[in-house]
Amino acid sequence: MASSNVGFHSLASCLVFFLLPWTFAEGGKLLVIPIDSSYWLSMRPVVERLRRRGHEIVVLVPEINLRIGLSGHYTMKTYSVPYTKEYVEAEELIKSLGESKFEAVFMDPFFPCGQIVAEHLSLPSVYLVRGLPCSLDFHATLCPHPPSYIPRFFTRYTDRMGFLQRVGNLLDFNYGCALCWQEFEAIVNASGEHGIVVFSLGSMVSEIPIKKAKEIADALGTVPQTVLWRYTGQVPPNLPKNVKLVKWLPQNDLLAHPKTRAFITHGGSHGIYEGICNAVPMVLMPLFGDQMDNAKRIESRGAGLTLNVLEMTTKDISTALQTVINDKKSVIETQPFSFYPV
Ligand SMILES: *[C@@H]1O[C@H](CO)[C@@H](O)[C@H](O)[C@H]1NC(C)=O
């Protein structure tokens, strides 16, 4: 009995010994490009499982990020931030990625960096995505999404819809994006000669303490512009008439509108590039990460003014906003500015 057990064990070890190299030999080389958000928490287990199956994995992340840390499951490569420009220019990095001979890219396609890299390296990609605005994910994948059965974003419907819900879903399906843009356009049109101010603290922060929100609301009431504020927190009781709170706004489209006079932003790299491209002066309220540096750079080029979020008063906000809107000298010769990298 004992001897047959020993025999079994050595046979098993032999099998393992011979099979192991096979498992590794079948492993591929995978480049992973996540975005720094909670969606990484869904990607990470997939990456770990792939590693356990013997694949070799490199995760490409911004040098400053909140959620993606080192791990024994993958090699991490970083690129500097703000990255929109440096990313393309990081020749060394791109060259080394090319030389690594990856077989595929696994990415979160919410921001298009992953797709650009995959296209550049001529690699097939696999997306892990919750959804993209305007059902772009369905269109891009040619995936059927009948409105009778597949609920649209923000409708809160499930796949079991009653008649009226299906009608609502159908309308949202056909007109969703066009309608919301028309609503924004109507607000912009109604703003008259003074135009509008676009205010968003980015996709990660849309709620702020109510005390701060009240101070900000008071300041916004001191300008004649209509302010479109992306904000989902408790509505400040002193919200002035010229301020419209929205849960989402088409930031780049609004910034591109000739009636847009200023952009209040936290100074994230996407936002500031959109501000620069559209030559809109900015009031910067940096919160964390690369935002302080971004804000100071924008300020040093005369494209905006930076506020200290913790210390700013109603008066500070109001003065900064009025300055960027009215004082052409202190703000920008925005046109030439848009040609310089920050
Ligand atoms: C806004 O104004 C433009 C230019 O006058 C016009 O073409 C457009 O239809 C208006 N849009 C809305 C929604 O009122």
Percent of the chain whose predicted confidence (pLDDT) is above 90 = 41
Nearest atom in ligand 1 to 188's CA: 1
- 30 pLDDT band, cuts 50/70/90, is very high
Question: At 111, is the pLDDT very low, low, confident or very high (cuts 50, 70, 90)?
Answer: confident
CA of residue 80 to ligand 1 center, whole Å? 41
Considering the chain, what is the average pLDDT of its residues?
82
Model pLDDT for residues 172-205, shown as the tens digit of each residue: 655 555 556 788 999 999 999 999 999 998 766 6
pLDDT digits (tens, 9 = 90+) for 122-161: 999 999 887 777 777 887 778 888 888 888 877 788 888 8
Q: Is residue 164 pLDDT above 90, yes or no?
A: no
pLDDT at residue 52 is higher than 90: yes
In whole angstroms, give the CA distance from residue 149 to residue 307: 48
Residues in the chain: 342
CB 219 within 8 A of CB 318: yes
Q: What is the mean pLDDT of residues 106-124?
A: 90
Could you tell me whether strands 104-107 and 125-127 are parallel, antiparallel, or unpaired per DSSP bridges? parallel
- 269 touches 341 (CB < 8 A): no
**255-269 per-residue burial string, b: 16 or more CB within 10 A, e: under 16:** bebeebbbbbbbbbb
Going by C-alpha positions, the residue among 221, 213, 230 that lies closest to residue 318 is: 221
Residue 84: which pLDDT band, with cuts at 50, 70 and 90?
Answer: low
- The answer to whether 260 touches 254, Cβ cutoff 8 Å, is yes
pLDDT in tens, 311-325: 999 999 999 999 999
pLDDT, tens only, 237-246: 999 999 999 9
Rounded CA separation 282/299 (Å): 9
Task: Spell out the domains of the chain, with CATH numbers in brackets.
Answer: 29-130 (3.40.50.2000), 133-190 (no CATH), 193-339 (3.40.50.2000)
Contact 147, 166 (CB under 8 A): yes
pLDDT at residue 88, rounded to an integer: 53
Region class of 12: left (phi > 0), else alpha (psi between -120 and 50), else beta: alpha
In which order are the strands placed within the sheet that holds 260-265?
Answer: 243-246, 226-230, 196-200, 260-265, 282-284, 304-306
Residue-wise pLDDT tens digits, 230-239: 988 889 999 9
* Alpha-carbon distances, residue 250 vs 142, 201, 234, 242, 257 (angstroms): 24, 14, 22, 19, 11
- List pLDDT tens digits, range 257-293: 999 999 999 998 888 988 988 889 999 999 888 888 9
CA of 188 to the centre of ligand 1 (A): 9
CA of 185 to the centre of ligand 1 (A): 7
Distance CA 143, CA 134 (A): 14
pLDDT at 120 over 80: yes
pLDDT of the residue at 15: 44
Q: Which of 181, 185, 196, 254 to mutate to test the pocket of ligand 1 (most atoms within 8 A of CB)?
A: 185
Q: Which of 181, 182, 183, 189 to mutate to test the pocket of ligand 1 (most atoms within 8 A of CB)?
A: 189
CA of 190 to the centre of ligand 1 (A): 9
Please indicate whether residue 39 or residue 294 has the higher confidence score (pLDDT): 294
State the distance from the centre of ligand 1 to the C-alpha of 239, rounded, in angstroms: 27
- The residue whose CA has the least distance to atom 5 of ligand 1 is 189
Structure tokens at 91: 């020749």
More confident residue, 10 or 26: 26
* Pocket around ligand 1 at a 6 A CB cut-off: 182, 185-186, 189
| DSSP H helices in the chain | 2-25, 40-52, 83-89, 91-99, 113-120, 136-141, 163-190, 210-220, 251-256, 269-277, 291-300, 314-326, 334-337
Q: What is the pLDDT of residue 4?
A: 46
Please tell me the distance between residue 181's alpha carbon and the centre of ligand 1 in angstroms.
11
The C-alpha atoms of residue 108 and residue 102 are separated, in whole angstroms, by: 17
Structure confidence at residue 186 (pLDDT): 92
Q: What is the pLDDT of residue 193?
A: 94
